[in-house]
Structure 1
Amino acid sequence: MKLVQLAIAALAGMVIAAISIWSSRAGAVPEEEPVAVVNDSPVTAVEFMREAERQRASVIDYFYRTYGAKMGHHFWESAFNGENPETALKERTLKEIVRTKVELELFQEHGLIHGTSDADLIRELEKENERRRAAIRANQPVYGPVHLDEAAFRDIFISKTRGELKEKLSRNELVANDDTLMRHYEAIKDPMLISEGTVRFDKLTVSYKDTGSGDGDGRSKDRVRAEMADAKRLADQGMELAEAAKELWVGVGASVAGYTEEELNNRTAGAYYKFQPALYALLTGGLPDGRVSPVIDEAAQGSYVLVRITDREAGGYRSFEESRSQVESSYRDTAYSAYLNRLVEAARVDLHPQAWKALRLL
């Protein structure tokens, strides 16, 4: 019983300490008191502090990279070439909040949300969590966590609603004719729309999954790599990889060693990039034709790989028609960002002087 009492006392002390930290860092400004108003949307102290927490690391990193200043006891009160970290954090936090509030107002204007306050977002969070609980009860799939916390929900919700707004605005404010899209295509085609070209290659693969742990022959990963190094030596001396594969079959068995002739092109590049990144980097990174690659460890596949490029066709740019949907999506993103920037520049920001001065971020 005494241990329980001690645990409760310790927990209470932690809670009191957390409250004290909030109070001292917020300068005793009540959580729901507005410290600023963006257009018609109030910004409460708790909203401001939450965003400041998100911005703290970037401010610390800026002062370290710019002035070599390290985080220490007097870091936030110090001045570096006339710049003060706490002031910089306040300014960066306010800038991000203004952008968020303007975007939320845009969502509301187009009927996608009911309000821009913290309370409005909390209501949306509760609705989403109830939807997820209902889906679980009905044995329906739920993507991501069953229960979202406020931080996770905010980013997911804003991203999802932003996509819906872009779709609506693309019919009017962000509409683009073919001439506009063609100009955007010319602006982004390098590097976004470069064709991969075609690379044909021979490939020798040896799996090291489960080696030395139940396969019966006690092979280790190091042993497999040594055998692969022997295969590379033979290939460097002129042996075809198909023949080197036969030599490997003697050492490791045909069940774990394989030889294939493959092709990297526009259709297959995505799969290589996603599932065999080391191989993709090698094939697109300047391996000369005819030369045997180093031994590649494809950890995700659990295998060692050797390749030799046998043929190559230069790529180019994908045509406008081939890339039209990607060009439209890229243009919509660019136009939306520019549209939002104009609204942010025109936003009315009113600080509440007393609350703003009392709000401390230390």
Structure 2
Amino acid sequence: MKRRNVVFLFFSLVLLVSLSTGFYFGHSDKEAPGTVMTINGSPVSKFDFFLITGRDLGDAPAPITDQERNAVIRTRLTQLEASARGIQMPVDYNTFMQQLKAENERRRIALEKHEPIYGPKQFKERDYFDYLLSNAKRELRDKLQGNPIDVSETKLLSYYESNTEKLARKLDTYVFHEIVIPGTDEDARAEAEAIMGKIKTADKFETAYQKRLLSPGLALEETMNQENRRNFDKYHNNFFALAKDLKEGQLGKEIVADQENFKLILCTKREAGGYFSYEEIKNEVLQRYLDATIADYTEQLVAKAKVRVMD
């Protein structure tokens, strides 16, 4: 109650100035006092606004930004869409607070009984709102499959064929010659920089590489392809980030800090990796298709939304 009293006092003293959109914390005679705007007829209260945007109640008064306005519109549309499809997601602040109170009471009782709970002992308003919204989006994603989003085999296959290059291309097969400088300290880096300064061409690199092969651990040939890309991406990320863009015969332009050493690299061979078949990546195709289609669907909802800002 204390927090609500602070909010009422705050808004009784302050009227936020709008941006060029004319967006005020005022209200119309046709709407309940404290309504900031309506979205498809659904009133957004001042409390809803603070909850959605994450503004601190103690912040100095400031105009509502376009970013905040868009966040409120998109969030309320998500709430309405979820509610319409039978997903538990409170639309107004009062209902949300009742649900938060009930959830925190449930957690308190569970702890007294030494029963396991997941997450915090007690939810804060913003954290619980984010939790509910995240769950609602996930459930909404599932609900939208089939209606209105067509996820038939024909649709997915068509999406795969139209986006094969970005969806299904395998990593090329690379062969690298690597000059290895053991150590990760400044002396090792200085040595790497000195060597790099002397090998400006592939031929000079190869000459230095062949000489270092005579000393164990100072030169290495390595293959990178689709089969081992996860290992490179996870454990040798710096190497992977630089090496994947090299063409055959091209020297790496940077020194690679790779775990316990520095490396200079030359791509000696690169062959096309081919493509995954639709069947091999069918689930990923579905997820990517849903990402793209839901994004389009959301933009359509935003474009069609009837937004009325209070005078």
- Normalising by structure 1, we get a TM-score of 0.60
| Correspondence 1:340 to 2:298 | yes
1:193 — aligned with what? Answer: 168
Contact 2:252 2:266 survives alignment (8 Å): yes
- The CA deviation at 1:20 is 5.9
Contact 2:168 2:276 survives alignment (8 Å): yes
| Correspondence 1:265 to 2:201 | no
- The CA deviation at 1:191 is 3.0
* Equivalences, count: 279
- The CA deviation at 1:147 is 6.5
Contact 2:15 2:26 survives alignment (8 Å): no
Contact 1:194 1:315 survives alignment (8 Å): yes
> Residue by residue, what CA displacement relative to the aligned partner does 1:168-201 show, whole Å, maximum 9, x if unpaired?
3214432322221122123333334332111122
- The CA deviation at 1:43 is 0.5
Counterparts of 1:132 and 1:206, CA distance in 2: 58
1:283 — aligned with what? Answer: 243
Contact 1:231 1:245 survives alignment (8 Å): no
Greater displacement, 115-124 / 189-198? 115-124
Counterparts of 2:139 and 2:152, CA distance in 1: 21
The partner residue of 2:266 within 308, 311, 316 is 308
| Correspondence 1:227 to 2:153 | no
**SS of match in other structure, 2:226:** coil
In 2 relative to 1, CA 124–196 (structure 1 residues): closer, same or farther, beyond 3 Å?
Answer: farther
In 2 relative to 1, CA 341–124 (structure 1 residues): closer, same or farther, beyond 3 Å?
Answer: farther
Counterparts of 1:160 and 1:98, CA distance in 2: 18
**SS of match in other structure, 1:239:** helix
Letter in 2 for 1:197: D
In 2 relative to 1, CA 237–283 (structure 1 residues): closer, same or farther, beyond 3 Å?
Answer: closer
1:178 — aligned with what? Answer: 153
Letter in 1 for 2:207: G
2:84 — aligned with what? Answer: 109
Letter in 2 for 1:184: Y
2:257 — aligned with what? Answer: 297
- The CA deviation at 1:104 is 0.7
1:330 — aligned with what? Answer: 288
Contact 2:160 2:167 survives alignment (8 Å): no
**SS of match in other structure, 2:263:** strand
Identity %: 20
Counterparts of 1:50 and 1:22, CA distance in 2: 19
Counterparts of 1:125 and 1:245, CA distance in 2: 66
In 2 relative to 1, CA 123–208 (structure 1 residues): closer, same or farther, beyond 3 Å?
Answer: farther
Letter in 2 for 1:269: R
Aligned counterparts, 1:8-157, within 5 A: 23-26=13-16, 33-49=34-50, 89=64, 93-122=68-97, 127=103, 149-157=124-132
In 2 relative to 1, CA 331–295 (structure 1 residues): closer, same or farther, beyond 3 Å?
Answer: closer
> Residue by residue, what CA displacement relative to the aligned partner does 1:12-45 show, whole Å, maximum 9, x if unpaired?
xxxx9xx769943547869972222323532012
Counterparts of 1:262 and 1:133, CA distance in 2: 59
1:9 — aligned with what? Answer: none
1:168 — aligned with what? Answer: 143
Counterparts of 1:206 and 1:132, CA distance in 2: 58
Counterparts of 2:194 and 2:288, CA distance in 1: 48
Letter in 2 for 1:106: E
Counterparts of 1:200 and 1:124, CA distance in 2: 59
Counterparts of 1:262 and 1:322, CA distance in 2: 27
- The CA deviation at 1:92 is 5.3
Measured on the aligned residues, the alpha-carbon RMSD in Å equals: 4.2
In 2 relative to 1, CA 206–25 (structure 1 residues): closer, same or farther, beyond 3 Å?
Answer: farther
Counterparts of 1:129 and 1:101, CA distance in 2: 27
**SS of match in other structure, 2:233:** helix
Counterparts of 1:25 and 1:192, CA distance in 2: 50
In 2 relative to 1, CA 329–224 (structure 1 residues): closer, same or farther, beyond 3 Å?
Answer: same
- Normalising by structure 2, we get a TM-score of 0.68
Counterparts of 1:25 and 1:121, CA distance in 2: 25
